[in-house]
Structure 1
Amino acid sequence: MNLEEYAAKQSVLVPAGVPTPRGVVCRSAEQASDAVAKIGPSVIKAQVPTGKRGKSGGIKMADNAEQGAAAAHAILGMTIGGSRVERVLVEERCPIERELYAAVLIDVSSRSPLVLFSTEGGMDIEEVAEQKPDAIRRHVVDVKHGFDTSDAAALLSGLDLGPATDALGDVLVRLYRAFCENDAELVEINPLAILRGGKVVALDCKFVLDDASTFRQPELAKVASPPKMTDLEQRGAAHGLRFIQLDGNVGVLANGAGLTMTTMDVINHFGGKPANFLEIGGEAYTKAEVALDLVLSNPGVKSLVVNFCGAFARTDVMAEGVVMAWESLKPKIPAFFSIHGTGEDEAVKLVRERLGIEPYDFMEDAVKAAVEAAK
């Protein structure tokens, strides 16, 4: 779940003690005009849960109230990254001396939090990583030890940051603490600015909340932007199914997130394109018809892979649900089954006798056949 900039600053950075500029959230040009009149020279920024707002015309300067109203009028109602701009953040303009970058995220390779810092702030970090990889400092955090001022000092060592070094180190420590306490997947400040006089201020903030932690972070969940979903995804959510619609042509019905992603990877390996992600487990018997209908309702689907692997969940029970759904919906596309684990003999027999489909001995063969059939 993504937080817009204003929410990330108010709900994450400010409680963590990270300095931010004065700002007011406005929903109209009139409100923006009043805000600029009180704040003075300001930056008017579109509030959407996506990046590249500046390149899209969603960030403008205003020296006075009249310019503030004009800027807000131009930004409100825009569509940026698929999101309509319904509010702007009017924020005091700061005298920037230097723009830096700081972030904390999960490092997949080490399975640990990773603190990033770069002197190349204000740019897309992906561009920095590609053009100047040495400009990004990295610190993999040992969660047993945490990240303290000595770690921050080591990360910033030799970067010629002058008197602001200690303040920057303090921000990094606070940022890591905020990352942990708020169950974040990512907290990023770009740019983290050194102002004239040496003050360090977070001029922007991107925050991504771990979806699985919303029960622990109800206040953050309230201010998070609702995920954009297709009609099929909304239908799946209404039935308690995690369905993600993709632009491929091979439908996927598998039990469990891991097996589903593996199946999608194998589809890609054989030159196909998966049409969906759909996590369904032992509940397949009760939700099979809804799940199958979701997969088949994607207009791009030309073939279907059904991949079941049971341990505690019995594959014959899951197969019974799919067979009943198939008999009810009567789809016309070719389907390719792979069934292994507890109850597989009964499941294979069930699919063979009631659907007239012979399951494959190997998942790879079922996927390969589905990819060929979708061409």
Structure 2
Amino acid sequence: MKLLEHQGKQLLAQAGVPVPRGRVVTTPEAAQQAAAVLGCRVALKAQVPAGKRGKAGGIGFAGAPEDAAGAAARLLGSELAGSRVDAVLVEEAADIAQELYASVLNDPAGKGPLVLFCPAGGMDIEELSARDPESIRRLGVDIRTGLTADAARSLVTGLGLGEHVEEQVTSALLTMYRLYRTVEAELVEVNPLVVTGAGEVVALDSKISLDPGALGRHAELVADLVPERDDTGTELERRGRELGLQYLELDGEVGVLANGAGLTMTTLDAVTHYGGKPANFLEIGGDAYTKATPALRLVLDNPRVRSLVVNFCGAFARTDVMTEGVLAAIEELRPELPIFFSIHGTGEEKAIRLVRERLGVEPYDTMDDAVRAAVAAAAGEGKVAG
């Protein structure tokens, strides 16, 4: 579950990471009042669960309270990254001397937390990572010992930040790690973590994602931060929540259905590895196979989807039972796009036979083969079924 920027900043501030002064408003008049109270040049930031808001026009600035009202009026009610802007964060504009990047996230490869730090933060961190991956320092953390001060400091030394800034960034990393563990987050990211002209380190943005499976252990946190009705995300993501499905809309063309969050993430990584772009995260394991028809409809209702990979791997979960659910969904919805299967584990012989008999399709021997075929089909290349 993604928190909005102001919700994430609330957690960061409570944990001890400095954030700018600000207020969340829902009307232009409230934005004007907030700017007057702050008494300085302000930034107005659309509160939607999406990154790169600046490039999308979701951030404005105002030097006077009346200008803040106009900027808020332009943002409120607009749509940004598939979400309606119903709230705006009005906060003091920072005197930025340098932008840094810091995050703590789940690392499937290392099977534990991963801390990232880069002395060049800002909107283009993804492009920088692709262009110059060595510029981002990485540190895997053993959860039995946690993140130590010496380990955190090793990420920031030797970069010319200066002793005062190094100490503040080290403290911020340690605090972000404690917050990550305390709220059982999947991601705690600050981009940018800025150094001001006065040499102070401040979290200018926040991106925090909570583990949906852990929310029941944090009822007070959820009550404080999450509205009774969650209108965040895209239309398809909202539909997924209403159905009780873990669905996340992405910007690619290869649809994905897999069982288990880990296998689903692995499938997404494989799509990217073979040159494609995944269109969604949708975990359909456990009893979710009983919702195979609405799950498949979610994937198909994304107009970008041009192929679909179904990847099942069962131990306790039976692949034949999950496959039966997906086949029934395919027979009901009759999608016209090519579908590629990879099925392994408990019940695989029956599952593979069902796919052959009911769809006339041959499942692939490996996940990689199925993903490669789906990527090629989405690009208009190669065979269109398998």
Normalising by structure 2, we get a TM-score of: 0.73
Deviation at 1:166, TM superposition (A): 2.1
Counterpart residue identity of residue 66, structure 1: E
**Using the alignment, how far apart are the partners of 1:7 and 1:56 within structure 2?**
21
**Using the alignment, how far apart are the partners of 1:58 and 1:273 within structure 2?**
25
**Using the alignment, how far apart are the partners of 2:179 and 2:196 within structure 1?**
23
**Using the alignment, how far apart are the partners of 2:151 and 2:273 within structure 1?**
41
| Deviation per residue, 1:95-122 (Å, 9 max, x gap) | 3333332222233432332222232233
Contact persistence 1:112–1:141 (CA under 8 A): yes
**3-state SS of paired residue (1:49):** coil
Deviation at 1:248, TM superposition (A): 8.8
Counterpart residue identity of residue 105, structure 1: L
2:89 equivalent in structure 1: 89
Q: Is residue 153 from structure 1 mapped to residue 160 from structure 2 by the alignment?
A: no
Aligned Cα root-mean-square deviation (Å): 4.4
**Using the alignment, how far apart are the partners of 1:311 and 1:238 within structure 2?**
28
**3-state SS of paired residue (1:201):** strand
**3-state SS of paired residue (1:146):** coil
Deviation at 1:141, TM superposition (A): 2.0
**Match runs of 1:55-70 below 5 Å:** 55-70=55-70
**3-state SS of paired residue (2:97):** strand
- CA shift in 2, pair 1:357/1:148, >3 Å: closer
Q: Which is further off, 127-136 or 258-267?
A: 258-267
1:41 equivalent in structure 2: 40
- CA shift in 2, pair 1:309/1:58, >3 Å: closer
Contact persistence 1:253–1:307 (CA under 8 A): yes
- CA shift in 2, pair 1:192/1:351, >3 Å: closer
**Match runs of 1:1-375 below 5 Å:** 1-10=1-10, 12-46=11-45, 47-158=47-158, 159-222=160-223, 223-224=225-226, 226=231, 228-230=233-235, 237-242=241-246, 279-281=283-285, 283=287, 311-313=315-317, 329=332, 331=334, 372-374=383-385
Contact persistence 1:252–1:278 (CA under 8 A): yes
- CA shift in 2, pair 1:188/1:160, >3 Å: same
**Using the alignment, how far apart are the partners of 2:241 and 2:75 within structure 1?**
32
Deviation at 1:30, TM superposition (A): 0.9
**Using the alignment, how far apart are the partners of 1:263 and 1:338 within structure 2?**
11
Contact persistence 1:116–1:136 (CA under 8 A): yes
Deviation at 1:362, TM superposition (A): 5.1
**3-state SS of paired residue (2:216):** coil
Deviation at 1:17, TM superposition (A): 0.9
Counterpart residue identity of residue 186, structure 1: L
**Using the alignment, how far apart are the partners of 1:249 and 1:81 within structure 2?**
17
| Deviation per residue, 1:201-220 (Å, 9 max, x gap) | 22222212222222223344
**3-state SS of paired residue (1:109):** coil
Deviation at 1:60, TM superposition (A): 2.5
**3-state SS of paired residue (1:156):** coil
- CA shift in 2, pair 1:209/1:308, >3 Å: closer
- CA shift in 2, pair 1:245/1:19, >3 Å: closer
Counterpart residue identity of residue 194, structure 2: A
**3-state SS of paired residue (1:110):** coil
Contact persistence 2:82–2:235 (CA under 8 A): no
**Using the alignment, how far apart are the partners of 2:112 and 2:319 within structure 1?**
35
**3-state SS of paired residue (1:24):** strand
Deviation at 1:59, TM superposition (A): 2.3
**Using the alignment, how far apart are the partners of 1:80 and 1:348 within structure 2?**
43
Deviation at 1:90, TM superposition (A): 1.5
**Using the alignment, how far apart are the partners of 1:361 and 1:340 within structure 2?**
10
Counterpart residue identity of residue 20, structure 2: P
Counterpart residue identity of residue 167, structure 1: Q
5+ residue gaps, structure 1: none
| Deviation per residue, 1:34-71 (Å, 9 max, x gap) | 11111111323222221222223332222222222222
Structure with max Cα Rg: 1
Deviation at 1:13, TM superposition (A): 0.8
**Using the alignment, how far apart are the partners of 1:118 and 1:369 within structure 2?**
36
Deviation at 1:270, TM superposition (A): 10
- CA shift in 2, pair 1:35/1:374, >3 Å: same
| Deviation per residue, 1:182-225 (Å, 9 max, x gap) | 22222222222333443322222221222222222334445356
Normalising by structure 1, we get a TM-score of: 0.75
Contact persistence 1:282–1:314 (CA under 8 A): no
**Using the alignment, how far apart are the partners of 1:75 and 1:313 within structure 2?**
47
Contact persistence 2:361–2:385 (CA under 8 A): no
**3-state SS of paired residue (2:24):** strand
Contact persistence 1:302–1:374 (CA under 8 A): no
**Using the alignment, how far apart are the partners of 2:117 and 2:84 within structure 1?**
31
2:380 equivalent in structure 1: none
- CA shift in 2, pair 1:30/1:130, >3 Å: same
| Deviation per residue, 1:69-99 (Å, 9 max, x gap) | 2222222233222222222211123333333
Deviation at 1:124, TM superposition (A): 2.2
